[in-house]
Amino acid sequence: MPVFHKTKVLTDVPMHYCPGCTHGVVHRLVAECLEELGVAGKTIGVAPVGCAVFAYNYFNLDMAEAAHGRAPAMATGIKRVRPECVVFAYQGDGDLASIGAAETVHAAARGENITVIFINNGIYGMTGGQMAPTTLIGAKATTCPYGRDPKVNGYPVRVSEMLAQLDGPSYIARVSTHNARAVLDAKKHIRRAFEKQIEGKGFALVEVLTGCPTNWAMSPVDALKYVEEQVIPYYPLGVYKDTDKEVR
């Protein structure tokens, strides 16, 4: 009878994530992929500033903690001097798409041979629910308390679509974690994004749609439903770029 084993690439430290948050799920997917690919022993992860700021406590890997938004630059520095290592950045939407937009775009444009896991929950979680670059039009946040108004706050950034326009990336995909099937599918794309790096094909990014029940002021179940019904229509799932095959 098969026995479930937790991946050794995660530590036993209890995670600080809120109930219903799927950061922990994504951590596990990343860890399982690294274990299955047999590269955990030569992997270096770069944690962001944001909810995943303590990711270095959870990944049982050599880890660095970057400045806010600078994980792709720090990962670039690591990867360039240690090309034999697998290097990934794990970032949220404020980190990657707002304060670190330049670092993200240029790491992608350089085709930097790193993997980026991008958690898009449309809100600043760690600081208490402020508007993110990916917050949907009409959605409320503490810095757009009447709902995001494009006249005041501008429009959400579709990161995957944007980066897919560049020549540098080898793989850009958007996945979700709102149900079991989506999670299993997400793992396939995350694994592919690491394989791209191992094959030396260059920048790979997987955008993962997640919920934030705490700051969305929803139950975990409602948050997952919201992702499915409201978020995915604005941020369609799929592979946006794959240099190995035609997409979309």
Partner 1 sequence: MARQLMKGNEAIAEAAIRAGCRAFFGYPITPQNEIPEYMAAHMAENGGVFVQAESEVAAINMVYGAAAAGFRAMTSSSSPGISLKQEGISYIAASDLPCVIVNIMRAGPGLGGIQSAQGDYFQAVKGGGHGDYKLLVFAPASIQEAVDLMFVAFDKADQYRMPAMILGDGMIGQMMEPVELPPAVDLQSLPEKPWCLRGWDGQGERRIVSSLRIQPEDLEPYLNEQMKKWERIKEDEARAEEYRAEDAEILLTAYGTPARICKSAVEILRAEGIKAGLIRPITLFPFPDRAFRYHAARPEVKGFVSVELSTGQMIEDVRLAVDGKKPVSFFGRCGGAVMSEDEIVAFVKGGAF
Pick left, alpha or beta for residue 69 (phi over 0 → left; psi -120 to 50 → alpha; otherwise beta): left
By CB under 8 A, residue 63 contacts partner 1 = yes
Which among 61-69, 128-136, 192-200, 229-237 is the span making contact with partner 1, rule CB under 8 A?
61-69
Min dist. Cβ of residue 15 to partner 1 (A): 15
70 binds partner 1 (CB under 8 A): yes
What is the x/- site pattern for partner 1, positions 95-114, by CB under 8 A?
A: -------xx-xx---x----
- Contact between 6 and partner 1 per CB under 8 A: no
In the complex, the smallest distance separating the C-beta of residue 76 from partner 1, rounded to whole angstroms, is 5
Among 6, 13, 41, 248, binds partner 1 (CB under 8 A): 41
Which tokens belong to 179?
């149900």
| Residue 86 sits in the site that holds partner 1 (CB under 8 A) | yes
- DSSP state at residue 46: E
Counting contacts by CB under 8 A, is residue 35 touching partner 1?
A: no
Give me the long-range contacts of 103-108 (CB less than 8 A, separation at least 24): 103/69, 103/70, 103/71, 103/72, 103/73, 104/72, 104/159, 104/163, 105/162, 105/163, 105/166, 106/72, 107/72, 107/73, 107/75, 107/76, 107/203, 108/72, 108/163, 108/166, 108/168, 108/169, 108/203, 108/205
Binding site for partner 1 (CB under 8 A): 41-44, 46-47, 53-54, 56, 60-67, 70, 73-82, 85-86, 102-103, 105-106, 110
